[in-house]
Structure 1
Amino acid sequence: MPRPEALPRTVRLLLLARVVNRLGAFSLPFLTALIRTDHGASLTTAGLVTAAFGLATIPSRLAGGRLADRIGRRSTIVLGLCGCALAQTAIAASRSLPSAVAGAVLLGLAFELYEPPSQALVSEAVPPQHRVRAFSLFSAAIAAGAMGAGLLAALLGRWDLRLLFLADAATCLACALLIRLALPRDRPASRPAETAPPIRPLRDPRLVSVLATGTAYALINQQTVMSLPLALAREGRPAADAGLLFTAAAATTVLAQPLTRLPAIERLSTPAALALAHLLLAAGLTGYALAHSLPALIAATAVMSLGDLLVIGRAYALVADLAPPGAAGRYLAVFGTSWGIAATLAPVLGTQLLAHAGTTALWSTSAALCLLLAAAHLRVTPRSPNELPAPGRRLPSPRPTAHDG
């Protein structure tokens, strides 16, 4: 396998900043516990607060895309990270339930500002043929930081859950400082010509189809993460085993990066690669339904992580390729709302299915949905414009652009 070209300095700095930021991103799973233990809220109330956070991330993601294209990438990233630090500090300092709720909503409103500009920077800094690799490395950076985050959470959480939020705030500020000092200054956004039609991502049917399948994938992903500890406990296994499975998933994401550069994988069209990814997810979820031992669960987790790795790299590269010039931030922001929708719905759907049908039905239903998504990708997912046949070959029928209609 030939040695891959070095990524641009901007992308390498963003990867480093992502690891730094992710090292502290261990407080969110403990938000419900903090609200219950420190403020005496019921489980239902704590769940509603977490859902409110998830809802707030949707306008946050959209605002991040618009700000990225208006005030600049670096400025938006720094603004989002500082907002997260402020919200985390407010949660740690809260002395009443209303103040904790306000901090959680503020955190949601700032939480996703970082994503669209950082993803837009990646899409602009690398040539189209390297975007899949760059976005795959972004997911690996998140996974690498997550492994360290789990260890820090285990240490700090023994003393006081509030320390987790303060540590998260500190890493957000450290990441903001790194971005502010290392990335080049934002260039003033060019004003669109008077006659140029406005860019409306949701009028692009190609993006809408990718958003629909991406939301279904995000829902399966989030439902699996949130339901796994409960499912393990229901089967009589320690809920703490979920931590081992999450670590196995992160390690697989990091170690399997070279697989994305195999010629057989790189030659796959985006619809075919995404279909393969969902077949791997279906196989892993079927393994969860059938597994009766920890090694079997770890093996199923590794298979699912390979599917996740293929989805993240291909999906975000596709969205960046579909965006008109200067609109990558907004296209990626709209696509990213799939995670906010999933974060809001997954706790409800997963727990209800688990409570009324059991673990085998939970994982089997999720696997069946992945099979449906694999078939859907082959029919509705557009090819990247960079994958169209070379001149002289028969071209597919024209697809509408973001300005059509």
Structure 2
Amino acid sequence: MIGLIKPLQQLRDRTPLGWLQLSHDRGRMLVAAAGIAFADVLMFMQLGFQNALYSSNTLLHNTLQADLVLIHPQARNLTNLSSFPRRRLYQAMNVPGVKSAEPLYIKIGNWKNPETRRETSIMVVGFNPDRPAFALPEVNQNLSAIKLPDTVLFDRASRGDYQGSIAKIEQGKAVKTELDRRTITLSGLFTIGASFAADSILMTSDQNYLRFFPRQDAASVNAGLIQLQPGADPVQVQQVLKAYLPQDVKVLTKEEFIEFETNYWATNTAIGFVFSLGVAMGFVVGVIIVYQVLSTDVSDHMAEYATFKAMGYSNLYLLGIVFEEALILSICGFLPGVGVSVGLYALTRQATNLPLYMTLMRATTVLILTLIMCIISGTIATRKLQAADPADIF
């Protein structure tokens, strides 16, 4: 028995003093950890929604089979591209290094849900089926189908009640509904996913698109997809096109087109700001919670800190104890925060079809923010230690 007590005493002597102080009042420690976990969950959710905002709205951009993209200078985002003369595509073909220049049409239309018959908005994309515009195998396998009049492909990852219609299409049965008061046929499926801009997407041929939206001028296009000859330098061809084409078009690389969409949602809408503000609020909430816990702990042990000073310990040593407590609390709150956030991500993903996933980068970011949050709180709380005096023990 005596031989067991000695190792336990040695283990206790090696236990960090910060942990001993926190674990002395388990209730307070659990409340503090829960508060930090709450702040972490708030930051995780805001960062997750912010990333889903950007990634969901660029899913279509990433699948484009194009090296360069032509858009109108006043275009705002994918659903507000404006239009420019189609002859700009023919002019682009005169530039050395350009292999093809094809039109792309995009518009938000009104359609009836095939199951509920309720009207809702949907993104309609039209392109030349003889020149596949997207790196989507399911779309490219059904190019002959969308050449048929009033025939479209439907996104199976759409947000809404479409399970019955999707099941019928998977069984090879056509589903009919209405788009802008015109009867259309859903004959195939593909997978992209919902976004903040649109709950679902229809893909069809450029000819069908012009049938659906007769007010669209056939001599105008919303975007131009340019593919280059093998070995051609996209940046060099881009500069030539900028100099050659009139000022009524902008020439972007595919990466710049993706950045163009991301910047719109980040700077030109309230959504991006709200999510950034949510992260900041979560950080501030965490700082306040940790400060309250550490400040109370310092006040409760002021006599002990004064005793340490009387024994010759420096202020730096005492500050180290408080920082130690802050770091322990950050870890104790971060771990459950990650677990809860993963569950909330899965729940949100199932309900909204948004690409909400936990990533190592995001977890690392929140962990760093949590450590900074706790260090700031510890720094503020240690101001009371400057008042610790050996006379306080009497």
Alignment TM class, shorter chain as reference: under 0.3
- Of Structure 1 and Structure 2, which has the larger fraction of its residues in helix? 1
Asked which structure has the greater CA Rg, the reply is 2
- Of Structure 1 and Structure 2, which has the larger fraction of its residues in strand? 2
Query: TM-score of the superposition, structure 1-length normalised?
Result: 0.22
Query: TM-score of the superposition, structure 2-length normalised?
Result: 0.23
